[in-house]
Amino acid sequence: MRERLWLHTAAHLRFYRRSRIVLGVGLAILGLWSLTLLPLFFGGSNAGRFNQLRSVAQQLTTLGWLLSAALGLYVTSTHLRNRSLQVILTRPGSPQLWLASVFASALIVAAAMQAIGAVVTLVLSLAWGVPYQIGFFYMAVNAVFQAAIVIAVLTTLGAVLHPVVAFLVFVLFNENTFESLRFGVELMKAQNHGGWFLEGARPLVIAIHTVLPMQYPFEGQTTGVVQSMRVTGTDWGYLLATAVYSFAVVAVCFLLAEVALRRRSFATTT
């Protein structure tokens, strides 16, 4: 079982490496980000180096999960379009392993990207003479868990919808969107506006906002880490909670994606 899981995972990793789309998009994002980074390397006092290093670390963590987030969506949609997934789903014992390998391969890339970002941050801290704070490592690990959530959600959406539609749904109808919508609804209710329509829509908005996975769990509770790069025992607790939360999201999305893929395979073969 482990051997087959690794074979599937290794095949996905080779697929990412050989894909011109993945390479092109990755280079484009990396190139644009590099242009925004150039001013940080010209001038600057020693007192400002810490803020510059913190800015670089934040950008690297964001860049890392951004480059890896859509990989699960991409490989799932690709196999659905060329119908090679039907062969996998009709083999006993393979569907779960194949889907697990999709999640695993994208997560491996996400972890690798964050590891590279952590090394770059460490090298810059040594080159600039800035004391390395454990908060930089904390941000990289936290970004891996955040990437796992996004990978799981996008992969599940890709099993149901066209990849472009899945990406738009993820961008437009996420937890942050419904948080803002819920705030607006609660404000209108407090001001006695909206009438019967508001009364009917409010429970629906609250329910959707409650079940949608958070992209940045405990972000508000860990702002001190981002500002000072110092980590307290409470912050480590929030990191553990983020790990548990991301595991729960991945588990639920895995089950939903498996059901969706089986239904699509059954629909195309009947």
Task: Kindly report the three-state secondary structure assignment for every residue of the chain.
Answer: CHHHHHHHHHHHHHHHHHCHHHHHHHHHHHHHHHHHHHHHHCCCCHHHHHHHHHHHHHHHHHHHHHHHHCHHHHHHHHHHHCCCHHHHHCCCCHHHHHHHHHHHHHHHHHHHHHHHHHHHHHHHHHHHCCCCCHHHHHHHHHHHHHHHHHHHHHHHHHHHCCHHHHHHHHHHCCHHHHHHHHHHHHHHHHCCCCHHHHHHHHHHHHHHHHHCCCCCCCCHHHHHHHHHCCCCHHHHHHHHHHHHHHHHHHHHHHHHHHHHHHHHHHHHHC
Domains: count for the chain: 1
Q: Give me the domain span that covers residue 260.
A: 2-174+212-269
Q: What per-residue confidence (pLDDT) applies to 8?
A: 81
> In this structure, is residue 143 part of a structural domain?
yes
Q: What per-residue confidence (pLDDT) applies to 38?
A: 64
- pLDDT category at 71 given cuts 50, 70, 90 is confident
Q: What per-residue confidence (pLDDT) applies to 149?
A: 92
Tell me: the pLDDT tens digits for 90-116? 665 567 788 888 889 989 988 988 898
pLDDT at 270 over 60: no
> In this structure, is residue 49 part of a structural domain?
yes
Q: What per-residue confidence (pLDDT) applies to 145?
A: 93
Q: What is the pTM of this model?
A: 0.84
170 or 45, higher pLDDT: 170
123 or 265, higher pLDDT: 123
Name the token pair of 200.
């009917």
Q: What per-residue confidence (pLDDT) applies to 43?
A: 54
- pLDDT category at 216 given cuts 50, 70, 90 is confident
> In this structure, is residue 162 part of a structural domain?
yes
Contacting residues for 196 by C-beta, under 8 A, at least 6 apart: none
Tell me: the pLDDT tens digits for 218-243? 888 888 888 888 899 999 999 999 99
Distance between CA 217 and CA 179 in Å, rounded?
13
> In this structure, is residue 189 part of a structural domain?
no
> In this structure, is residue 117 part of a structural domain?
yes
Q: What per-residue confidence (pLDDT) applies to 236?
A: 94
> In this structure, is residue 61 part of a structural domain?
yes
Considering only CA atoms, give the Rg of the chain.
21
Residues of the chain above pLDDT 70, percent: 86
> In this structure, is residue 160 part of a structural domain?
yes
Tell me: the pLDDT tens digits for 52-70? 888 888 888 887 777 777 7
> In this structure, is residue 20 part of a structural domain?
yes
